[in-house]
Amino acid sequence: MGDNIMECKVFVGNIPLNANMEELKTMFAEYGKIVSINMKNQKGFTFIQYESAENAKKAIAGGQDREFSGANLNVKQAFKKDITLMPPQGDRSEENLEAQGGGGGD
């Protein structure tokens, strides 16, 4: 195999919530051997992992805007979500003091 796992994974969105996921799996199996697929469709999308990056590319090319259960699918390369924390905002105590003014009235 040798392909990076993320290169083998595709995102499939705009799936109607009442869609038959077995039919979706059968449709995407046309592009190559599926290693895994999340068969739950609770949010209108799923991820499909193929055996090779080549099959994933075929699925993206063939599945994008393809009609399924009355909707055009959104198919693209999956990517790893970066879960790093937001950079610190710094100490805002000086800003707060400036915004509050210096007091005094002479």
CA 5 – CA 11 distance, rounded (Å): 13
Angle at which helices 53-63 and 21-28 cross, to 10°: 110
| pLDDT tens-place string over residues 8-66 | 999 999 999 999 999 999 999 999 999 999 888 789 999 999 999 999 999 999 999 99
- Closest by Cα among 31, 37, 24, 7 to 73: 24
Contact 19, 69 (CB under 8 A): yes
What is the per-residue pLDDT for 89?
56
What is the per-residue pLDDT for 49?
97
| 82 pLDDT higher than 90 | no
Chain position carrying tokens 């290693």:
35
> For residues 50 and 99, which has the higher predicted lDDT (pLDDT)?
50
C-alpha 29 chain-centroid distance? 20
Decide the pairing of beta strands 9-13 and 34-37. unpaired
Q: What is the mean pLDDT of residues 72-99?
A: 66
Predicted model pTM: 0.73
